[in-house]
Amino acid sequence: MSRIKVSKKLEEAVRVILEEVGEDPQREGLLDTPYRVAKMLQHELLTGYQVDIDELINNAIFEEDYDEMVIVRDIDFYSMCEHHLIPFFGVVHVAYIPDGRIIGLSKIPRIVDAFARRLQVQERLTTQIANTLWEKLKPKGVAVVIEAIHLCSVMRGVKKPRNKMVTSAMLGVFREDIRTRNEFMNHIVRKPTFLD
């Protein structure tokens, strides 16, 4: 079986990192590590750079006479902090109120992944998801809340293992109407999970 093609420059960069931290890239356990890390970054963790949002949506926006809140909650995500190249992960809750147009259910988690699989900060990730739905659907409102654990504050720095970050973006009626915002927030309250 042939290997998936990866960037030789990326492979070499991993090899240099191994050497610089005092490891021997030629020892048995590390022989394929530069290839594996390059493959993981190019073909899994950072694939969001290759995603075209319009192609991802693929015309899955439909005319529909529905004007109540639509929520997709507890969307698991994994991303990489752009400051330390360490993962952060958690859940995304997304809501929108249609104005004659709805989007296919699977497209919302795919939009989350498209932006999460890039070097990120949680604040930007939150607004990218919200702004994309606002622009593509032209709804009455969009709300996004992200709850995440950042390994850069667990494994290093302050070393607080239960430290969670919560960010939100509220557009349209979610920003203007506290009752609408509260309805959304009440829907995403849940029993404790592994993040709590």
Does one domain contain both 99 and 18?
no
* Element housing 115 (H / E): helix 107-116
Residue 134 lies in a domain: yes
Of 11, 42, 81, 93, catalytic: 81
* pTM value > 0.95: no
Give the side-chain half-sphere CA count within 13 A for 49: 10
Of 23, 152, 183, 187, catalytic: 152
Average pLDDT over residues 129-146: 98
43 catalytic? Reply is no
pLDDT at 179: 97
What's the CATH number where 161 sits? 3.30.1130.10
Q: What does R_g of the chain's alpha carbons equal in angstroms?
A: 20
Of 12, 19, 64, 82, catalytic: 82
pLDDT at 86: 96
Residue 97 lies in a domain: yes
What's the CATH number where 36 sits? 1.10.286.10
d(CA 147, CA 189): 12
Residue 102 lies in a domain: yes
> How many C-beta atoms lie closer than 10 Å to residue 40's C-beta?
13
Residue 51 lies in a domain: no
pLDDT at 160: 83
d(CA 174, CA 115): 22
23 catalytic? Reply is no
CB 125 within 8 A of CB 146: yes
**Per-residue pLDDT reduced to its tens digit, 82-137:** 999 999 999 999 999 999 999 999 999 999 999 999 999 999 999 999 999 999 99
187 catalytic? Reply is no
Does one domain contain both 30 and 64?
no
Q: Which domain holds residue 80?
A: 60-188
Does one domain contain both 174 and 78?
yes
**Per-residue pLDDT reduced to its tens digit, 53-79:** 999 999 999 999 999 999 999 999 999
Does one domain contain both 100 and 15?
no
84 catalytic? Reply is yes
Whether the pLDDT of residue 149 is over 70: the answer is yes
pLDDT at 4: 95
pLDDT at 187: 93
44 catalytic? Reply is no
d(CA 47, CA 159): 29
135 catalytic? Reply is no
